Amino acid sequence: GYTYSGHPLAAAAAIGTLDTYKDDKIMENATAMAKPWEDAIHSLKDMPHVVDIRNCGILGAIQLDNASNDDPGRFAREAYVELFNKGVMVRYTGNNIALSPPLILNQDHIDQLFTTIRDVVSNLS
């Protein structure tokens, strides 16, 4: 093994983290938010530039069309920058806006996130 494999301090931190997940019902919250998340992300399906939407639990991706053959991924990149400027952290890869929220999200977070995404994607040109 490695020098610090199974180090007691790291093991204690892991146990503490698992205890917090259990005590604060973090996984239960993520499970409860899966359906509202799915409804919210798929509500964007008829927007201009949206090609595909997919999710698994509270993970999701919004695929945007190519702005042009000369600059593939431009819409996703521009959306990423504008969302960041509005205080929303997402990732983009190729033509996709990738979403992976914290497990402690609630309905207000979902509403704020997708209202902001709807606004930004509506203004892409």
Mutual angle of helices 26-42 and 8-23, in 10-degree steps: 60
Model pTM score: 0.86
Tell me how many degrees the CA angle 55-61-65 measures, rounded to the nearest 5: 135
Q: Is 75 exposed, middle or buried (0-12, 13-18, 19+ CB in 10 A)?
A: buried
What confidence score (pLDDT) does residue 5 get? 75
What confidence score (pLDDT) does residue 44 get? 97
| The token pair that represents 32 in the structure block | 């409860």
What confidence score (pLDDT) does residue 1 get? 63
What confidence score (pLDDT) does residue 7 get? 85
Phi, psi values for residue 86, rounded to 5°: -95, 10
What confidence score (pLDDT) does residue 84 get? 97
Residues of the chain with pLDDT under 50: none
